[in-house]
Amino acid sequence: MSGNQNDQKDHELISTIQKKNEAKSQKSKFNAEAMDLAWEYYFPQFTPILMKRSPDLSECLLEKVFTVAYCKLEEQIGLGKIQAAVNGPVTGIHSVLDFLAEHGNIRLEELSKTKAGNEEDYRHIDNIKNNRSKGLLEFDRELYKYFDDYARKQYSAISRMDREDIYQDSMLSLVKSILDDCIKITESAIFGLTKAAKLKTYFMSITINLLNKWGKRKQTTDLDSIKELDDDPDGNWGFTEDDFEKLGRAFAKLDDKCAQILDLWSRGFSMREIAEIMGLPDENNARVLAFRCREKLRKIFKQLP
């Protein structure tokens, strides 16, 4: 990429984020434009820079590291430390890519630090990754007893079958995060999960949220409400009543992660709640994933006959 093109893209991204901040809404069209530019233009350049330092970095963690760096960029723009004049240059940074790479590397340094005193979590993660049935069974029993005691005490109105369903959903979410290399224990937290310092704490954050919502939410995807997930609060993606059969077919072609987040979003869960349920680091990660999955659904819809 030429320096001139990069300068133009930097100005475009920073200007768009400034407009989003002025709109004071994550649902403004400027937020969608900024995210689209960040992921489509900067993420492909960001990836080889980070992979050069950490060749074994999983795609899942790479996306999370990029999200952290991008959120830092938004924060600095919001504070006015990075600016793009209307008819002038960008000030406050040398380039957006350099900024993202720098803060991505800072997060990688955190990932390289292991947490002393967390040997049990290391062992559980290792057992799950290597399918050691004895270790898995031990961890499963430990978690289930802790969960079931809590659930029966705090949510006595929920049946045993419902509690077991919630437990299984939570365990599947935890195991999937581990197998996808979406987590790594650091000095301050289990990176890729939450700010929790222990696997058990993270696991219970999922189950408690599901227990609170259980019985209050319908369990099937409300496709009618998905049309409301537009950046324009009054829009409906251009879908009409005649489009819903086709929309349903498009939704069925989504991967499990995208189907889950759009399902949760359509049923009214907040981004913070979605992050907890799906094992994402925070609501910013949930917002980015929701945006990308919504765009994926839109593209699939357009390709269907």
Residue with tokens 């819809």: 301
DSSP assignment letter at 115? P
> How far from the centroid of its chain's Cα atoms is residue 293's Cα?
11
Residues 6 or more apart in contact with residue 21 via CB below 8 angstroms = 77, 78
CA distances from 33 to 39, 74, 76, 78 (A): 10, 13, 18, 17
Instruction: At 186, give phi and psi (nearest 5°).
Output: -120, -175
Three-class secondary structure of residue 66 per DSSP = helix
Per-residue confidence in pLDDT tens, the chain, 305 aa:
444 667 888 999 999 888 888 876 555 677 788 888 898 999 999 999 999 888 877 787 788 789 889 989 999 998 899 998 887 888 999 899 999 999 998 888 776 665 555 677 777 888 887 877 777 787 788 888 888 888 888 776 677 777 888 888 888 888 877 777 777 655 554 444 444 457 777 788 778 877 777 655 433 334 444 444 444 343 344 555 566 778 888 888 888 888 888 888 877 778 888 888 888 877 777 888 888 888 888 888 888 87
Let me know: does 41 contact 9? Beta carbons within 8 Å.
yes
Rounded Cα gap, residues 133 and 128, in angstroms? 8
Q: What CA dihedral angle connects 254, 259, 301 and 270, to 10 degrees?
A: -150
Domains of the chain as residue ranges with CATH: 3-111 (no CATH), 119-213 (no CATH), 223-303 (1.10.10)
Q: Rounded to two decimals, what is the model's pTM?
A: 0.53
Rg (CA), the chain: 21
Burial class of residue 228 (count of CB atoms within 10 Å of its CB; 0-12, 13-18, 19+): middle
